[in-house]
Amino acid sequence: MPLEFTRSGAKDWAKAKIKGFYMCPITPVGADRKVDEKGLRENIDAFIDMGIEGLVVGGFFAEGWNMTPSQWLHFHQVVADAGRGRIPLWTIILDPCVHTCIEKMNAVEEMGFEGAEVINPVVQLRTDDEIFDWFQYLTDHTNLAICLYRTGVGGRVLGFDLMRRLAGLDTVVAVKQGAGGRVDTLRIRRELPDNFVVCDPSEAVFLDELRSGGQCVWGELSYILYGKKRHLVTEYRALAAQGKWEEARAKSMELNGVRLLLEETLLWKIMETNTYAGTVSSVKTWFDAIGLNGGYMIPPLRDLPPAQAETLRGRLKDLGVV
């Protein structure tokens, strides 16, 4: 499938297209500890039925870092077969070697992916010039649109001066702003070009984001996890689109109970450890509880202990998520 944008028009294309929820789901794994291809296809069908605007796959939540190169590519082919032409597809690139990144991105472009969320090189490169040169080389050798990932998990949080330089690269169209909180999100949006998409990866602030120039929740999976309360997001978004902000806020606040559970289960653990690894088993239990395919962990990561899984399922039931 040819890309929908030219290199010079990539930012305007992204500004017009990247809206709503671009979710980052887990990878279902069977008892044989291999990717459950049937479960993966069923999940993608369910995501499309939910009305998710885009999928961002192959990253930390998806255990992409724990797959061999051939497994990673095969996983993306299955995703492409299931979702191509039905929903926008983005990959996540975590490799420090720019040449590996280019190989992966060129491969998934042929599969029908349109972009990649790319973390800055975690190993070795730390100065602004080194990181800029890395991204410039990358963008010179791949046509995919690129969303930066500004995060402490990347070894170094991208500074504001470096963000301005990176935003000048034609195919760097967006950032997942995962460091520094709302004040950084608002500053980056204020200081970078109007056609550069700044995404706060938190549904909990999405209503405020809609009022302050935001347009996308990128690279998380709360909308999926809300289960039977998912309709509340649709309802507050519709009210916001009509300018009924107070009604939208009241509707949004009905999600606060499940948001607190999500914070406890995911957010605080990620902030404490600067990794996602310790949270994925809980997300898989959550997926199974709401009728999606979660399954097992890829070794050496451990499955969630049965007692903890039972507690989580009970809390989801009490909150009306299942």
| Structural domain includes residue 2 | no
Looking at residue 45, its pLDDT comes to 98
Instruction: Output the average pLDDT for the chain.
Output: 95
Q: How far is it, in rounded angstroms, from Cα 198 to Cα 152?
A: 17
Contacts of 97 (CB under 8 A, 6+ apart): 121
- pLDDT greater at residue 60 or residue 321: 321
Per residue in 21-55, pLDDT tens? 999 999 999 999 999 999 999 999 999 999 999 99
Per residue in 160-196, pLDDT tens? 999 999 999 999 999 999 998 899 999 999 999 999 9
Give residue 152's pLDDT band: very low, low, confident or very high (50, 70, 90).
Answer: confident
Q: Which helix (H) or strand (E) holds 145?
A: strand 145-150
Domain hosting residue 268, numbered range = 10-318
Looking at residue 107, its pLDDT comes to 98
Arithmetic mean of pLDDT, 47-67: 96
3-class secondary-structure state, position 23:
strand
| Structural domain includes residue 1 | no
Contacts of 92 (CB under 8 A, 6+ apart): 24, 56, 57, 58, 59, 60, 62, 64, 116, 117, 118, 119, 149, 219
Give residue 277's pLDDT band: very low, low, confident or very high (50, 70, 90).
Answer: confident
Looking at residue 271, its pLDDT comes to 75
Do 66 and 92 meet the contact criterion of CB atoms below 8 Å apart? no
Tokens representing 296 are: 């097992």
The total domain count for the chain is 1
Q: In this structure, what CATH number is given to the domain that contains residue 174? A: 3.20.20.70
CA torsion, ordered 179, 144, 45, 200, to nearest 10 deg: 20
Per residue in 75-126, pLDDT tens? 999 999 999 999 999 999 999 999 999 999 999 999 999 999 999 998 888 8
Whether pLDDT at 241 is above 90: yes
Sheet with 216-220, side-by-side order of all strands: 197-199, 172-177, 145-150, 115-119, 89-93, 54-57, 20-23, 216-220
Q: How far is it, in rounded angstroms, from Cα 295 to Cα 284?
A: 6
| Structural domain includes residue 4 | no
Rounded to the nearest angstrom, the gap between the alpha carbon of residue 286 and the centroid of all alpha carbons in its chain is 17
3-class secondary-structure state, position 199:
strand
| Structural domain includes residue 5 | no
